[in-house]
Amino acid sequence: MPNDIVLIAGNSNVGLATEICESLWQPLGLAQVRRFSDGEILVEIGENVRGRDTFVIQSTCAPVNDNLMELLLIIDALKRASARRITAVIPYYGYARQDRKASPRVPISAKLIADLLTVAGTTRVLAMDLHAGQIQGFFDIPVDHLFAAPVLLHYIKEGFLRDGGGSLILVSPDAGGVERTRYLAKRLGAPLAIVDKRREAPNVAKAMNIIGDVKGMRAVIVDDMIDTAGTLTQAADFIMSMGAASVAACATHAVFSGKALELINGSALSEVVVTNTIPLRASDGDVSKIKVLSVASLLGEAIRRIHQEDSISSLFL
C-alpha cells in the first residue's frame, strides 16, 4: 500500500488495531494517549500526517466515556495536523441503543455521538454491526457499515455443523433480531425460530414463548451483542426446556457487563461465540465457554478499499 496511509489506535482495543495493521502490512502509527493527574486526556500524534489518509481505530466500549473522549481528541489532533482525510474505525459503536426517544424528555444519544464525531473532524466512519441500522442516517458524512456475518458463518459451518447440519436451528432472541438471524439461517439452509419476550425494565427481559420447533435440535441463538447476558441465558434455558438437544450462541459484540460471564457459565449454554470488536479483559472472570473470532482481516480489507477508493459493497453482505 502507498505510504500516505496512517493507522492510529486509542487504548480501547490495541490488540485488534495491531491485527488490522498486520493484515495490511502497515505499522501502527505513533500516538501517545496519556492522562493528567485530574483525569484529563492528553493526545500527541508522533508522526507527520499532513496530507495523509488517516484511520483511527477505537471501539467506544467500557469505559465508554473515556474511550469516546480519546477518539474525539485523536480526531481533533489529526485535523489540526492537516490530515487529508480522517476515517473513524469504530468496531463497536457505543450509545447505539439510545437511537430514538423511547419516552418523554430523554436524549437521542446515538445522534449526539454522530454529531460530536463530525464536529471533531471525522470525514468518514467505518463501523461494524450497528445495533440499529438507522444510525447511518444520523451522520452527514459517509458511513460504511460492515457485518461480522462472514466470520460467524464460517465458524458455524466449521464448528456447529462439523457433525452434519440436519439438526441445526438458528434462534432470534427477540423480534428485532429476526432479519439478522434469517440471513444466517438462509445461508446455512437451516430453519429459524424466534423467542418472544417481554421487557420489564432496561436490561431486564423475560422469555414468554417460542415461535418454531426446537425439540431435538441443536439451537444457536444469534444476536448483535451480549451485554448483561440476562436475555441470552434466559432464552437459552427456555429453549432447553422446550426440548432442544443443545443450545449455543453467536454475537458480534461481547459487552459482558455486570455478572454476564457468571450468568453464562451457570446457564444451559454450551458455547458462546463472539468477535474481538471488544477485548476480553483478564478481570472479566471465567471465559471457558467463550470463543473469540477475529474481524481484523475484514476491517483491514475495508480500510484498504476505502484508501484505494475501491468499492466495499461486496463486504456488506
Work out the number of other CB atoms within 10 angstroms of the CB of residue 300.
20
Clarify whether 79 is annotated catalytic: no
Q: Cell 427477540 identifies what position?
A: 174
Do you find a cis peptide bond into 63, omega within 30 degrees of 0?
yes
Q: Are 126 and 89 in contact (CB under 8 A)?
A: yes
257 grid coordinates: 457487563
The radius of gyration of the chain's CA atoms, rounded to the nearest angstrom, is: 20
Integer Cα distance of 93 and 150 in angstroms: 19
Stated length of the chain: 317
Q: Cell 479483559 identifies what position?
A: 281
Q: Name the residue type at position 54.
A: T
Residue by residue, DSSP assigns 204-269 as EEEEEEEES--TT-EEEEEEEEESSSHHHHHHHHHHHHTT-SEEEEEEEEE---TTHHHHHHTSS-
Catalytic residue among 79, 197, 215, 259: 197
Strands (E), 46-119: 53-57, 85-90
Name the β-bridge partners of 210. Answer: 195
Q: How far is CA 15 from CA 6, 19, 36, 241, 290, in A?
A: 17, 6, 24, 39, 17
168 grid coordinates: 441445526
User: Which residues have a catalytic role annotated?
Assistant: 197
